[in-house]
Amino acid sequence: MSAKAKSRKRSKRLLSNDRPAFPTRGHKTTSLSSKVTRTLIRSHHTLHKRLKQAETAGEIARANEIRLQIETQGGLAKYQQASIQGQSSQRGGDSSKLLIEWLQELGLSTTEHTKLRLLEVGALRVDNACSRCGIFDVVRIDLNSQHEQILQQDFMTRPMPVDEADREENGFDVISLSLVLNYIPDPVGRGEMLKIVASFLRRALQNEQLNTFPGLYLVLPRPCITNSRYLDEAMLEAMMSSLGYVMTRTKLSSKLAYYYFRYVWDQPTVSQAFTKKELRKASNMNNFAIVLQ
Ligand SMILES: C[S@@+](CC[C@H](N)C(=O)[O-])C[C@H]1O[C@@H](n2cnc3c(N)ncnc32)[C@H](O)[C@@H]1O
C-alpha cells in the first residue's frame, strides 16, 4: 500500500474513532467510563458555582480552597477530556450534526460557493460535523485550547468588531454555544453571554438567506430547560425574543435541548429585564437560571 493510501486509511479510522483525533496538550487521554465522566463534569460545574459564590462574597480563603480542589481534580483539561468522551457516538454524539441538518432543512446547500462563517465557542475538536460539512469557515475558540486550530480565548473578552465594515467582514453567520452557557457558573454571567452574541453576527449575505441567517445555535443539557425551577422553553424564547431573535428550530433529545435562534436585524427590540423568578416547584428540580439585566 502506498504511503498516501496508508495515511488516508489512518485518517479515516481516526475520524470514525470515538477518541479525539488530535493530541491534547500536556494531558494523557486515557478513556474514562461514562459514570466517571458524568461525575467529573457535574463536580467541575458545582465547584465553579461555589467558587463564584465565594468570590462574590469576598471569601478569599474559601475561594482559594475551591480553586485548589478544581486543580486537584484535573481542572479544565480533565473536564474537557470528559466532555470529548461525552461527544462520542456512544455517549450522545457530536451536537453540531443537528445544526447541519437544520440548515439543510432551511434550504442551505453544501455546494454553495461562498462559505459561511461560524464561530464555535467552546470548541474541543476540529473534526466535528460543522468542521467537516464544507459549509463553513470555522473559527474555534476555547478557554483552554486543545489544538493549534483552536484559539485560546474567552468569548466574553473577544474584541468586538470596531465598525459595520469590520463586522460584515469578520462577523459570523452562525455562532455556536454548545454546552457552553451552562458552563458559566452564575445566571447573570449567562445572560451577559447571550447578550454579546449579536455583536458578532453580520447581516445575511444574500436575500434568500434572510430567513436562516444570522443565527445562534444553542445547546444545553435537557434538565436546564425541562427540570429547572427558573427556566423553561417559553421563558428562554421570551428572553431571546427580547434580544432580537426568533426561535426557528428546537429539539429535545433524552439528554440535550437544542435551539436555533435566528437574529433579526433592524427589528426594534424592547429591552426587557428577566430576573430569577420561580416558574414551577418540585423537590427534584434544579436551580439553573438565566438573568438578563
Ligand atoms: C462541555 S464543553 C463543550 C464542548 C463542545 N462545544 C460540545 O458541545 O461538546 C464546554 C467548553 O466551553 C468552554 N468555555 C466555557 N466558557 C467559555 C468562554 N467564555 N469562552 C470560550 N470558551 C468557553 C470550556 O473551556 C469548555 O471547553
Cα–Cα distance for residue pair 76/68, rounded to 1 Å: 12
Atom of ligand 1 nearest to the CA of 183: 15
Kindly give the distance from the C-alpha atom of residue 181 to the centroid of ligand 1, in angstroms, as a whole number: 8
Cβ neighbour number for residue 5 with a 10 Å cutoff: 9
Cell of 266: 433592524
* Ligand 1 atom 11, closest CA: 122
CA-193 nearest atom, ligand 1: 19
Question: Cα-Cα-Cα-Cα dihedral of 186, 191, 196, 197, to 10°?
Answer: 100
- The string of pLDDT tens digits covering residues 171-224 is 999 999 999 999 999 999 999 999 999 999 998 777 677 788 999 999 999 999
Inter-axis angle of helices 75-86 and 34-56, to 10 degrees?
Answer: 140
pLDDT, tens digit (0-9, with 9 covering 90-100), for 85-117 = 877 655 568 999 999 999 988 887 766 667 899
Nearest to 231 by CA among 177, 180, 182: 182
> Under the phi-then-psi rule, with left for phi > 0, alpha for psi from -120 to 50, and beta for the rest, what region is 22?
beta
The strand order across the sheet containing 245-252 reads: 151-152, 136-142, 116-121, 174-178, 215-221, 256-263, 245-252
Q: What is the pLDDT of residues 30-45, one digit of tens each?
A: 567 788 888 999 999 9
Task: Indicate the top mutation candidate among 38, 43, 143 to test ligand 1's pocket, ranked by most ligand atoms within 8 A of CB.
Answer: 143
Distance CA 24, CA 154 (A): 19
Top CATH class, 94-263: alpha beta
Q: Which residues are annotated as a binding site?
A: 122, 142
**Cα distance between residue 18 and residue 120, in whole Å:** 20
Q: Which residue has the cell 435541548?
A: 257
Task: Return the number of other C-beta atoms located less than 10 Å from residue 128's C-beta.
Answer: 24
Q: How far is CA 61 from CA 27, 54, 175, 184, in A?
A: 29, 9, 37, 22
Taking the centre of ligand 1 as the mean of its atom positions, its distance from the CA of residue 199, in whole angstroms, is 19
Q: Is the pLDDT reported for residue 158 higher than 50?
A: yes
Cell of 163: 465598525
How many angstroms separate the Cα of 161 from the Cα of each of 84, 263, 269? 31, 17, 21
- Report the nearest-CA residue for atom 24 of ligand 1: 122
* Residue 28 scores a pLDDT above 90: no
Take atom 13 of ligand 1 and give the residue whose Cα is closest.
122
Ligand 1 lining (C-beta closer than 6 Å): 76, 80, 83, 87, 95, 121-122, 124, 141-144, 154-156, 178-180, 183, 219
Domain boundaries in the chain?
16-89, 94-263
Give the residue-averaged pLDDT of 283-293.
96
* ipTM for the assembly: 0.99
